Structure 1
Amino acid sequence: MKRNHLTTTAVALTAALGLAACGAGNDASTATAGAASTPAATAAASSGSTPAAAASSTSNASLASTSSALLADNAKAHAEEGDPAYDAEDVVKVTLQDGASSASTQTGVQIDGDTVTISAPGTYVLSGTLTDGTIVVNSADEGRVRLVLDNAAVTNSQGAALNIVAADEAVVVLEEGTTNSLADGTGYDTSAEDAPNAALFSMADLTIGGSGTLKVTGNTNDGIASKDGLVILGGTVDVTAADDGIRGKDYLVVQGGTVTVTAGDDGLKSDNEDDDTVGYILLAGGTTTVDAGDDGAHAEGDLAVTGGSVTITKSNEGLEGANVVIAGGTSSVTASDDGLNATQGSSSGGGGMGGGGMANDGSQLVISGGTLVVDSGGDGLDSNGQTTISGGTTVVYGPTMNGNGSLDSNGGIDVTGGTVLAAGSGGMAEAPDTSSTQGWVQLGFSSNVTAGQTVQIVSGDTVIASFTAKKDYSNLVFVGDDITSGQSYDVYVGSGSLGSDQLATFSLGGSTDGATKVGSVTAGQATGGMGGPR
């Protein structure tokens, strides 16, 4: 249904949306706000408090531990912080040169034309250029193979530039102050099982660290791929790939560094489906930026952000996994379909209808800390199971079409802490569960709030929250410390101003100068859509 645009002075909250209530317990009669807060949650921040401060003041320890419990069953990653460190007096130096590569010793290194093979554990410092050659690691012995890239550039038209066939563990060290590059060719055969399909390919656990720069170009398939685990500890890693950008089959962990990915398919990927303890992605530190043709980050198992900065600039679905956990860090997700998607099955190829009445598949979307901003064409936060929010600050610019909602959770939305502002279309709008202990308010509008207008939730003379629309919407959910079940709140729309501390176009506090009161809502009731409170 196409909504009429609102004018600044003619916005009205609906008393009845005129939409059929499709879910059990769904109350489409009023625009409302949520359930009673716990004593801890009612220690509300003042109107001048920052969104982050308000979120941290309500962090619920027991539910915050939900994120840890979800991740605890995963296999431990292989890497340790000290893995890239090496003794400069105990290295083999390999000089790369077309038709004339050489090594400081023949022990552990074999050179055949423009193929350099490393066959024993140790530390190897590689420098120079191969315009059409390859580095092969094939070490059957126990011990780490450490490759130090010291202004090394390798291009291989027939396959992987760096091909780790076998090693107990492989570590790629990016030497400080250096720029290194790896690129494969276009259209080589990757059809055989375990055939190299990336510019940097590894059959062994792979660690990347150091403080230099690595530019990887995957012209046929992936940029960086490990058939085991892959951990990035540091360095500047810039990947461009025809298919997936960075793939760790068993797991992919970003602990530090600056990682930039441009991918034709998934940006970050872990896709082992055979073992419940693997197939996970953990973004725990550093700065990660992804531009993806499909999912920004896709895990067959868990996907967690616990620290660092994560920016998905373009994607079909932003962050997708069987369980999705946001426990820390700063995340910004832009997606043409769902922003975050917790699902036991793949949803690649586009999303379907949202709504809280669909089947619960047991997946979990957990937000217990950090800041998260989502801009989605489909559902903003989508869980095919349950959604649990206990901390952090979340802002969702949701869909404009009624087939999706800013919040969509088949197993309900349990909120015990944190701050959430979610705006989107009204047709599939969903509110937190009535059993939630953090206060929430849901606003339904008779016609769209247009981009650029500011909506404010006010108690007496105090502005609780202010939000300026980036795109049109007709339904808004706000969760925060200062919302108490059963109380009435005034709603202002117009050109009011945000508070001084902002996350995207949302803040606690603000000023209603230039805004008009358009109605009032009562905490604890919900507007229509398919996904009402439980």
Structure 2
Amino acid sequence: MRRLIPLALPLALAGLVLAGCAVTAQPATTLSSASPSASAASSIESSVQTTSDIDSTIPEAAAELLAANADGTVVNDDEWSIADAETITLAGSTASSDSAGVSIDGSTVTITAAGVYQLSGTLDGNVVVAAPDDAQVILVLDDATIASTSGAAIQVVTADDVAINLAAGSTNTVTAASSADADASAAIYADSDLTVSGSGALTVTDTGNDGISSTDDLAIIGGTITVDAADDALRGKDSLVVKDGTLTLTAGGDALKSDQTDDATQGYVWIAGGTIDATATDDGIDAWTDAVITGGTVTLATQDDGIHSEIALAIAGGDVTVAESNEGIESADIRIAGGTTHVTSSDDSVNGSGSTSTSEGGMGGGMQDTGETVTISGGTLVIDAEGDGLDSNGSIEMTGGDVTVYGPTGQGNGALDSNGGITVTGGTLVAIGSTGMAESPDESSAQGWLAATASGSAGSTVQITDAGGTVVADYTATKAFGSVVFSSTAITDGQAYTVTVDGAATSVTAGVAVAGGMGMGGGGMGGGRP
């Protein structure tokens, strides 16, 4: 199992871990007379920075995951100069350039040396980077259209780090029909670290496989980028990081993906900023190890999981909307620590499942606690579920934040469902759903809670008042329901409260589960589903 820094790690220490030394490539040992000047090459070669340069205010629930993962590589725009660029003019079935670092063979343009290259015009062919293994190559697309009918339109065969910069005010198009079993299985394919940056626009279409793919780190730090791919839209094998930009993604597979399986510190997706609108046949975000969201605006509509990771998943900032999904958010270790998250699902919305203990021989189903965790310490989470709302094959712990669960309506699921119990010590929790598998917090929870059998329909008003008639909470249901669970600092165990639905009042005692169906903590039926 991969070692993770303990969740209790002080944030200051996490910041020190995250602020590790940047990894920089070494300058090439020789430069041809027609290559960029020595000073320019030195600037290019020192341009690599790592994703460890993050905001130290990131909640530790996410910061410790970032600290446990390897740095990804980013080439920033301010560390190279367009004044050093060599020009490549694209002209239909051929191209021209005065650079000694460029060779042209029919409709194939090959870049063989480190440097900055500005591409303009239209090419019915391929741009290939076959530079030394230690080279850094900057491709500035300035109103460039590249269309390939045989493999990747832009392919990095060899280089250390490559950046595709979208020139200000430019509109660029890259189109290909790559094959799934080809060496380069994407319209833009890099056998190196790849950064996409700038303020221009880029449209990428691949009718055969992925849109933009890197076998190492893929970083998106700018640009207005539209990708329509037969399979994955954006894929960074070692890591995928989005720090800025406006992304519109349509994928026959996953929209954003990292799938390195050989290194437990890689295979992660980190959304730190930008605006993402993704539609996917499979997952919206799919990470082999961790998925971390600390900023940006993310809207996902998927036919499978909205966000899926195998090890851990943290939302600590930003605005996340899973507008459509089978299961909304799924991982063995789910942490909601900040931001605003809305999840709509046809099955479970937030699902703690698939832990290492399960894969190593745990029961993985039924009533067994198989070690998964759902931890909520901050932020706002709103759930609209047809399956279980807040669900864990292990435990659920809430120490802060604001959680509202609407649904399910079916009796075979519950708004709250755990195999290992629910503890609440802070925050505000309301779960309005069906009665069949309803569960309430454990009786040992430090914060007061109440549970009531009270039914209503979409549009019904649910009001909770204390013994003195003071309104404690007021909600409007979005679908039919038969049970209400509520916890906040305003609730005191042992005290009497009234839950009123459309004028019909039900009296309850806080901290007491409803007999026969409301909660494992109080001896009721609750929980029990994987």
Regarding TM over 0.5, the answer is yes
- Structure 1 residue aligned with 2:106: 113
The residue aligned with 2:261 is 273
Equivalent positions of 1:210-221 (< 5 A) are: 210-221=198-209
Alignment check: 8 A CA contact 2:451 2:518 kept: no
Cα offset, 1:150, TM superposition = 1.3
Cα 1:137/1:264, change in 2 over 3 Å: same
Per-residue CA deviations over 1:68-98 (Å, capped at 9, x if unaligned) read 3344211122226x34653121011222221
| Match in the other structure for 1:126 | 119
4+ runs deviating over 6 angstroms: 350-356
Whole-Å Cα distance in 2 between the matches of residues 121 and 477 of structure 1? 62
CA distances 1:474-529 after superposition (whole Å, capped 9, x unpaired) = 334334332333333221223xxxxxxxxxxxxxxxxxxxxx14213332233465
- Deviation for aligned residue 1:118: 1.6
Deviation digits for residues 325-363 of structure 1 (CA, Å, limit 9, x no counterpart): 12122222234432211238xxxxx97998995444444
Structure 2: gaps spanning 5 or more residues = 1-57, 334-345, 353-364, 523-530
- Judging changes above 3 Å, is the alpha-carbon distance between structure 1 residues 182 and 478 closer, same or farther for their aligned structure 2 residues? farther
> Of the candidates 107, 112, 131, which is equivalent to residue 139 of structure 1?
131
Q: 1:352 to 1:420 in 2, by over 3 A?
A: closer
Query: TM-score scaled to structure 1, two decimals?
Result: 0.74
Matched, 1:78 2:73: yes
Q: Determine the C-alpha separation between the residues in 2 that align with 1:297 and 1:78.
A: 20
Tell whether the 8 Å contact from 1:330 to 1:372 is kept in structure 2 after alignment: no
In the alignment, structure 1 residue 524 sits paired with structure 2 residue 514: no
Instruction: Report 1 or 2 for greater relative contact order, CA contacts < 8 Å, sequence distance ≥ 6.
Output: 1
CA-to-partner distance for each residue in 1:372-419, whole Å, 9 max, x for gaps? 333333333343444343333333334332333333344444433333
> Can you give the 5+ residue segments of structure 1 that lack an aligned partner in the other structure?
1-62, 345-349, 495-515
CA distance in 2, matches of 1:435, 1:273: 40
Name the CA shift for 1:327/1:183 in 2 (closer, same or farther; >3 Å). Answer: same
- 1:478 matched to which residue of 2? 486
Matched residue, 1:431: 440
Residue in structure 2 matched with residue 87 of structure 1 by the alignment: 81
Change (3 A) 1:108 1:315: same
Match of 2:94 in 1: 100
Counterparts in 2 of 1:335 and 1:126: CA distance versus 1, 3 Å? same
Within the alignment, does 1:160 sit opposite 2:169 as a pair?
no
Deviates more, 1:458-467 or 1:257-266: 458-467
Matched to 1:391, the amino acid is G
Tell me if the contact between 1:339 and 1:374 (Cα under 8 Å) persists in the aligned partners: no
Change (3 A) 1:68 1:134: same
Counterpart among 153, 162, 168 of residue 176 in structure 1: 168
TM (norm. structure 2) is 0.75
Query: Are the aligned partners of 2:138 and 2:163 in contact in 1 as well (CA < 8 Å)?
Result: yes
What is the one-letter code of the residue matched to 1:283? Answer: I
Q: How does 1:61-460 map to 2 (within 5 A)?
A: 65-79=60-74, 82-83=76-77, 85-103=79-97, 105-130=98-123, 132-185=124-177, 188-191=178-181, 195-321=183-309, 322-343=311-332, 358-445=367-454, 447=455, 449-459=456-466, 460=468
Amino acid across the alignment from 1:97: A
Q: Identity of counterpart residues, as a percentage?
A: 49
CA offsets 1:93-138 (integer angstroms, 9 cap, x no match): 22222123122x33221222221122222111122222x3122122
**AA paired with 1:333?**
V
Structure 2 residue identity aligned to 1:458: T
Alpha-carbon distance in 1 for matches of 2:415, 2:397? 15
**Structure 1 counterpart SS, 2:327:** coil
SS at match of 1:313: strand
Matched position secondary structure for 1:470: coil
Q: Aligned partners of 1:137, 1:529: CA distance in 2, in Å?
A: 64
Using the alignment, how far apart are the partners of 1:288 and 1:519 within structure 2? 44
Checking the alignment, whether the CA contact within 8 Å between 1:134 and 1:155 is kept in structure 2 is yes
Rate the CA distance shift 1:211–1:294 in 2: closer, same or farther, 3 A.
Answer: same
Work out the CA distance in 2 between the residues paired with 1:529 and 1:254: 44
Supply the distance in 2 between the matched residues of 1:189 and 1:363 (Cα, whole angstroms).
38
Once residues 297 and 531 of structure 1 are traced to their aligned partners in structure 2, the CA distance between those partners, rounded to angstroms, is: 33
Alpha-carbon spacing, 1:377–1:222, altered in 2? closer, same or farther (3 Å): farther
Change (3 A) 1:95 1:275: same
- Tell which deviates more after alignment, 82-91 or 269-278: 82-91
Query: Structure 1, residues 42-84: CA drift from partner, whole Å, max 9, x if none?
Result: xxxxxxxxxxxxxxxxxxxxx963443344211122226x346
For the residue of structure 2 that corresponds to 1:432, the secondary structure is coil
**Change in CA separation of 1:486 and 1:140 when aligned onto 2, cut-off 3 Å:** farther
